[in-house]
Amino acid sequence: MLAWSRKREDVVGLKAPKKEKRVKKENRTQPPVEAPYVAPKPKLAVKSIPDKTVEIFDGMTLLELSKRTGAYISALQDILADLGEKVESEFDSISIDLAELIAMELGVNTRRMHTGVGTMEPRPAVVTVMGHVDHGKTSLLDALRQTSVAAKEAGGITQHIGAFVVEMPSGASITFLDTPGHAAFSAMRARGAAVTDIVVLVVAADDGVMPQTLEAMSHAKAANVPIVVAINKCDKSGADPERVRIQLGSEGLLLEDMGGDVQVIEISAVAKSGLDKLEEALFLQAEMMDLKARTDGPAQAFVVEARVDRGRGPLATAIVKSGTLVSGQHIVVGAEWGRIRSLRDTSGKITESAKPAMPIEIEGLRGLPMAGDDIVVVDSEERARMLSQGRKKKQEKDRLRKIDENMEDDIDTPEGTPERVEMPIIVKADVQGSVQAVTDALRSLNSAQVFVNVVHVGVGPISQHDIDLAQACGAYIVGFNIRSPPIAITQAATRANLKILQHKIIYHLLEEMGRLIVEKAPGTAETQISGEAEVLNIFELKGRSKSKGPDIKIAGCRITDGHFSKSGTMRLLRSGETVFEGPCASLKREKQDAETVDKGNDCGLVIQDCDDFQVGDVVQCLEQVIRKPKFISTQSGSVRIEC
């Protein structure tokens, strides 16, 4: 299992020059403590896999890494040699990048601990807007964006890069994340990217607390992020902000007017009223949190949005957590890498560097990263390439291990459980954040009967390539928040008998997908009592010769409940005890053969090989039914398939 026990060439995989380098000695014994980075872990679909995560930091000794990973020093040295590096002694220190490369080869996850040394300076707060669908999140973000620095500087024209900055009269600023709602927020949190400092919870004054309001509250609570409530649509005649306050209070939110510390602001995103008060409230909340970050030294940042631009290639909007990101630096972003060709601020202006909480668009990446990916600065192109390759290889290993586990699970399934069918899906969405949120949400519909297999994801419209791929593997195509495909594509899909699901709201997509999953599920065979009858008379067909078969006893019955079917199995009960069970040999109603007889009717019944009827016996008709799974949606807005 351990990588170092394998052949060299398998271990390496990270094409490195074979030259040997001496590693600089650095004496640091304690790990620094700031903004830990949790390497993206694959979500576990069915059962937990033995994941090990170790903390790594710049300048740690080989001995330290050996202790944390549980691997022999000699094994670490072997991996280092394969990477073209050499360390003489176990007390020699290594860079954080080398530590990660070694750990990845060992199949161990890493959490990067970055240096806390440097000047700590106040930084702006990063805010995410959440709330129930149609409560006005987009309208609020649009209204706030119009007050943003970019809008003012560019005369109202802003480019949509997934974040914007609003400046207060005092000169302080607030950064708003403009990414797709709470699904992206939770997806990012799952990937360890804790970029949000404050959540604005939008609740419509005319609608009140709804399932996704509660879901947003629990997300914020789980991430330990404070909430500022914006009661929206206060301009409407049916607005009742007081009712919203009471509802929120009864859901456990400690509002300021009720003696708690959660601020509540009444606004109208459409009439643009109360926005300055909301900004002030956010600023006050940020002040209370005394947000600070290291501003000098190499940056640590997170991707909040990523897309491909035809002319400029992959673009990632990032928020710096600490340090300063500088144009020209080599960076590793999740499993991708690149050299920063340009950094642009929210007004689209080229900037040389970016400081904490400042959203910037990065150009120069080789591939498209994912929302929530971490960004680390490395010394050279070679190091960037190696880390990216190492991370890709580790992701692939984890993916294969997960598939193996799923297969093991299938083997473990008890007898009688139907075979699990696969539902391949291709996801296309407007931006990377949506791709991820939709993929995660679809995977939550995985069940013991249907394996939701997202086979391909991408940003942009549905293309001929997607149709070809879907045809090859019988996949459904999901388009989220994207334009309807051109007629040629729709026609190609129809010809190939492919289903395209276009949605703008995740919940609606999940509802439709849930229905399809239920349809596709094989279901479980269950025996059900379809009817009950009482034996009123017994008739005997006697005098039959041996050649014509034995004598037959016919039970004259009345159906007292449900219905009887000729295809059913009959169970004979006497004083509550089963005395015989067998298939129906004959079912007649008024001397005519019948397929079914309903409640209230009399019938003549023959049970194969049964001649033991007595008046007063009870007969039950048993039928095999296929029970399909159920699509369950809970009050909190979460969904699942119950088998």
Residues that bind ligand GDP (CB under 6 A): 131, 133-139, 232-233, 235-236, 268-270
Q: Which is nearer to ligand GDP, 181 or 338 (CB)?
A: 181
Q: Which is nearer to ligand GDP, 269 or 365 (CB)?
A: 269
Owner of token pair 């080789």: 366
Query: Taking the chain, what is the end-to-end CA distance rounded to the nearest angstrom?
Result: 35
Q: Which is nearer to ligand GDP, 122 or 211 (CB)?
A: 211
Closest distance to ligand GDP from the beta carbon of 124 (Å): 24
* Assigned token pair, 235: 């301009």
Q: Which is nearer to ligand GDP, 123 or 132 (CB)?
A: 132
SS (HEC) of 14-40: CCCCCCCEECCCCCCCCCCCCCCEECC
Determine contact, residues 594/588, Cβ cutoff 8 Å. yes
Q: Which is nearer to ligand GDP, 236 or 553 (CB)?
A: 236
Rounded Cα gap, residues 328 and 388, in angstroms: 18
Q: Which is nearer to ligand GDP, 451 or 507 (CB)?
A: 507
Closest distance to ligand GDP from the beta carbon of 634 (Å): 20
Q: Which is nearer to ligand GDP, 204 or 521 (CB)?
A: 204
Of residues 74, 88, 80, 72, the one with CA closest to residue 104: 80
Closest distance to ligand GDP from the beta carbon of 216 (Å): 11
* Assigned token pair, 247: 């509802």
Q: Which is nearer to ligand GDP, 265 or 293 (CB)?
A: 265
Rounded Cα gap, residues 179 and 544, in angstroms: 83
Listed as own residue / partner, the contacts of 544-551 with beta carbons closer than 8 Å and 24 or more positions apart are 551/611
Closest distance to ligand GDP from the beta carbon of 484 (Å): 19
Burial of residue 510, with CB atoms counted within 10 A of its CB: 0-12 exposed, 13-18 middle, 19 or more buried = buried
Closest distance to ligand GDP from the beta carbon of 133 (Å): 5
Rounded Cα gap, residues 141 and 136, in angstroms: 9
Q: Which is nearer to ligand GDP, 135 or 394 (CB)?
A: 135
Closest distance to ligand GDP from the beta carbon of 206 (Å): 8
3-class secondary-structure state, position 76:
helix
Closest distance to ligand GDP from the beta carbon of 505 (Å): 8
Give the C-alpha distances (Å, rounded to integers) separating 130 from 139, 202, 531: 12, 6, 52
The dihedral sign for the CA sequence 282, 288, 294, 295: positive
How many other CB atoms are there within 10 angstroms of residue 403's CB atom? 12
Closest distance to ligand GDP from the beta carbon of 511 (Å): 16
Closest distance to ligand GDP from the beta carbon of 269 (Å): 4
